[in-house]
Structure 1
Amino acid sequence: MPPGGDPADDEVWLDDAAGRLVRPYTVTAGRTRPSVELGLLSLVVAAERPPPGVDPEYARALDLCRTPTSVAEVAAQLRLPVVVTKVVLSDLLDRRAMTTQATHIAADPTDRALLEKLLDGLQRA
């Protein structure tokens, strides 16, 4: 700290060149297991009335999810590992600040013709 500088100036948590200066797992207090099972393609959407006084990452997740958004997209936008993002989202789901929406499968996963094409493509790769 420069002489006569303010100690609060030392509390920089984001550096443009270095990125986030707080370890991702401090966001979740070290928790690595979400309380709700979420897949990468699970869609989440913020509730109409978000809870007051949430941490910055939680508030940002709510802002990102004004429309249905996948877990993968939220993780990318927050620049957090997927497992940390899942914990954040599950915390918001537990607080009823967010809901999940069912994802629709575009094709029947038991369609024999589709499975044969998939197997054929995998064997060629």
Structure 2
Amino acid sequence: MTVRRGSRRMVPPYLATTGRAQPTRNTLDGLTLLSAAVGRMPEGLEPAQHRLVELVHGGPLSLAEAAAYLGLPVSVVRVLVAELVDAGHLSARAPITVAQQPDRELLERVVSGLRAIR
């Protein structure tokens, strides 16, 4: 049997969470940045959790990016991430807000000054 592109999945996404529908924390959104909390791969993870931890071992990703790579809805990945954060396998933090970002004009002046030193 061949599966056509764009057709329904053989396994519904909620099975990736083994039927759990709500994350254990409500602070996660699509822009939450995920990174590996430990240097090695944890043992005994479900396949979707294992793939998620593998993804973030390559470097930080937003929750939405991880969902896209996994081909799962963001709501499903939120449940997986919450469990992995609770277990200590992932760390999650809010993205840097615009108010916390450095002033662009100041950075441009610093770069100009460094170029002038040459």
Tell me whether the two structures share a fold, i.e. TM-score over 0.5.
yes
CA RMSD of aligned residues (A): 2.2
> For 2:98, what is the secondary structure of its paired residue?
coil
Instruction: Give CA deviations for 1:4-48 in whole Å, capped at 9, x if unaligned.
Output: xxxxxxxx9x95755742111011122121112201100011222
Aligned counterparts of 1:41 and 1:88: Cα–Cα separation in 2: 15
Q: Which runs of 4+ in 1 moved over 4 A?
A: 14-19
Letter of the structure 2 residue corresponding to residue 42 of structure 1? T
TM-score (norm 2): 0.70
Higher relative contact order (CA 8 A, sep 6+): 2
- Which of residues 11, 36, 42 in structure 2 aligns to 1:22? 11
More helix by share: 2
Match of 1:57, SS?
A: helix
Instruction: Tell me how far apart the structure 2 counterparts of residues 79 and 46 of structure 1 sit (CA, whole Å).
Output: 20
Shift of 1:103: 1.3
Could you state the TM-score of these two structures normalised by the residue count of structure 1?
0.67
Deviation, 1:56, is 1.2
Over the matched positions of the two proteins, sequence identity in percent amounts to 37
How many residues are treated as equivalent by the alignment? 96
Unaligned runs of 5+ residues in structure 2 are: 101-118
- Give the aligned partner of residue 43 of structure 2: 52
Say whether the 8 Å CA contact 2:29–2:63 is kept in structure 1: yes
Does structure 1 residue 38 correspond to structure 2 residue 28? yes
Q: Which residue of 2 aligns with 1:95?
A: 87
Cα distance change, pair 50–94 in 1 and its aligned pair in 2 (3 A): farther
Aligned partner of 1:24: which letter? P
Query: Which residue, 71, 74, 86 being the options, matches 1:79?
Result: 71
